[in-house]
């Protein structure tokens, strides 16, 4: 079976503290986008798990989160089969868009279906948390305020459906752990007004919402990768209502009210990954 595993962007990201075990408390508004990896999952009778990808940068063995998702489902439900997984990567790798987490989420959904486990979305989300804090959100793919370590999800209004999102990654990989370590050293905690952001999103007021879109990791990531500052500036020059970095970066996004000229953007951001996408529409 084939599933689209959607990436996410952070409309905000605040770090509100640090747990004794090293995990950080966050408060962030997340939005799924139409850009997705395409994940194909089939059962096999060998009992083994095989994960292949079209991108050599990503590990294809036990290190892959999709592999870990298969193993988790096999062990939890004593499944007597294996799985063949093939992932077409479209989401920038290590780019702050939850690429690995969304692949794992898609695998869990596929195994649930292929093996007739009949787990509810809530049960899948609880189990998915063992794989990573972003996995529950990726299972749901619905705009949410994420608190706790990112696993406590409250549904919120997302971006208006008619906006365009231009994703630009300066082809720099940023380690999330390095950024968190630097955040701790610099104590850049808690400066984002998520309540105001959520209320502006509820009103459908993009300009007001963009005023409250902030990412506390941006200052740290730009100090490691100067290209981020330039990309954000260029997105503004192209007419973005808002330009922000997603997660720990280095993917940046601009939100546009009318479709930006992709050809002009590609020449402006030469050497960068550039992709035009939309908010993932979500209907209850
Ligand atoms: P995080 O914030 O969780 O570090 P990210 O969204 O910034 O994630 P990912 O694309 O998930 O970035 O990649 C993070 C790391 O996870 C990469 O170094 C990559 O090698 C590893 N990884 C494992 N499985 C996958 C997968 N299926 N797709 C992408 N990366 C994966």
Separation of CA 258 from chain center: 24
Q: Of 155, 189, 219, which one is at a domain's C-terminal end?
A: 155
For the full predicted model, state whether its pTM sits above 0.90.
yes
Instruction: Output 232 or 172, whichever has higher pLDDT.
Output: 232
98 ligand 1 Cβ < 6 A = yes
Min mean pLDDT across 54-58, 169-173, 174-178, 225-229 is at: 174-178
Relative to the CA of 53, which ligand 1 atom is closest?
A: 27
CA 93 to ligand 1 centroid distance, Å: 6
CA distance 156 to 136: 15
The answer to whether 83 and 49 are in contact (CB under 8 A) is yes
CA distance 26 to 13: 7
What average pLDDT does the segment 130-157 reach?
A: 96
State ipTM. 0.94
Q: Of 101, 128, 155, which one is at a domain's C-terminal end?
A: 155
**Across-strand partners of 224?**
none
Count structural domains, the chain: 2
Selection from 143, 105, 135, 186 nearest residue 12 by Cα: 143
What average pLDDT does the segment 105-127 reach?
A: 98
What average pLDDT does the segment 46-62 reach?
A: 94
Q: What is the mean pLDDT of the chain?
A: 93
Q: Is 178 annotated as a binding residue?
A: no
- Asked if omega into 250 is within 30° of 0 (cis), the reply is yes
The answer to whether 140 and 153 are in contact (CB under 8 A) is yes
38 ligand 1 Cβ < 6 A = no
Candidates 99, 101, 149: which one to mutate for ligand 1, based on the most atoms within 8 Å of Cβ?
Answer: 99
Residue 151 and residue 171 in one domain: no
Q: Is 99 annotated as a binding residue?
A: yes
Instruction: Give residue 85's pLDDT band: very low, low, confident or very high (50, 70, 90).
Output: very high
Asked whether the predicted pLDDT for residue 114 surpasses 60, the reply is: yes
Asked whether the predicted pLDDT for residue 38 surpasses 70, the reply is: yes
CA distance 282 to 32: 9
Q: Is 219 annotated as a binding residue?
A: no
Q: Is 100 annotated as a binding residue?
A: yes
Distances (CA, A) of 141 to 4, 22, 36, 103, 246: 11, 27, 11, 12, 16
CA 94 to ligand 1 centroid distance, Å: 5
Relative to the CA of 63, which ligand 1 atom is closest?
A: 23
Residue 114 and residue 227 in one domain: no
The whole-number pLDDT of residue 188 equals 62
Selection from 206, 166, 181, 120 nearest residue 9 by Cα: 166
Selection from 254, 248, 256, 180 nearest residue 218 by Cα: 248
Q: Is residue 85 part of a domain?
A: yes
Tens digits of per-residue pLDDT, 150-186?
Answer: 999 999 999 999 999 999 999 887 788 888 888 777 6
Q: Of 155, 176, 191, which one is at a domain's C-terminal end?
A: 155
Instruction: Give residue 189's pLDDT band: very low, low, confident or very high (50, 70, 90).
Output: low
Q: Is residue 242 part of a domain?
A: yes
CA 63 to ligand 1 centroid distance, Å: 10
The whole-number pLDDT of residue 273 equals 95
How far is the first Cα of the chain from the last one, in angstroms, to the nearest whole number?
Answer: 24
CA 175 to ligand 1 centroid distance, Å: 9
What average pLDDT does the segment 54-60 reach?
A: 93
Residue 175 and residue 136 in one domain: no
Residue 38 lies in domain: 2-155
Cβ atoms within 10 Å, residue 131:
22
Q: Is residue 284 part of a domain?
A: no
- List, by residue number, the catalytic residues: 8, 134
Candidates 33, 57, 58, 97: which one to mutate for ligand 1, based on the most atoms within 8 Å of Cβ?
Answer: 58
Q: Is residue 282 part of a domain?
A: no
């Amino acid at each position: 079976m084939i599933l689209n595993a959607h990436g996410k962007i952070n409309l905000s990201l605040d770090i509100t503290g640090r747990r004794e075990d090293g995990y950080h408390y966050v408060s962030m508004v997340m939005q799924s986008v139409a850009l997705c990896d395409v994940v194909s999952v089939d059962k096999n009778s060998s009992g083994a798990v095989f994960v292949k990808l079209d991108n050599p940068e990503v590990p294809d063995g036990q290190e892959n989160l999709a592999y870990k998702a298969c193993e988790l489902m096999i062990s939890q439900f004593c499944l007597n089969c294996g799985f063949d997984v093939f992932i077409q990567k479209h989401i920038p790798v290590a780019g702050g868009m939850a690429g690995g987490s969304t692949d794992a989420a898609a695998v869990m959904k596929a195994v649930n279906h292929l093996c007739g486990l009949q787990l509810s979305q809530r049960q899948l989300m609880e189990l998915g948390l063992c794989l990573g804090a972003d996995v529950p959100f990726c299972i749901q793919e619905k705009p949410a305020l994420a608190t706790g370590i990112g696993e406590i999800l409250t549904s919120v209004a997302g971006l208006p459906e008619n906006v365009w999102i231009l994703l630009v990654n300066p082809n720099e990989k940023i380690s999330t752990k390095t950024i968190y370590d630097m955040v701790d050293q610099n104590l850049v905690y808690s400066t984002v007004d998520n309540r105001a952001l959520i209320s502006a999103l509820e009103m459908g007021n993009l300009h007001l919402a963009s005023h409250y879109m902030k990412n506390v990791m941006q200052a740290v990531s730009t100090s490691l990768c100067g290209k981020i500052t330039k990309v954000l500036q260029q997105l503004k020059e192209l007419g973005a209502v808002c330009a922000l970095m997603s997660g720990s970066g280095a993917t940046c996004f601009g939100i546009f009210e009318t479709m930006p000229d992709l050809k002009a953007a590609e020449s402006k951001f030469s050497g960068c990954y550039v992709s035009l996408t939309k908010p993932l529409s979500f209907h209850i």
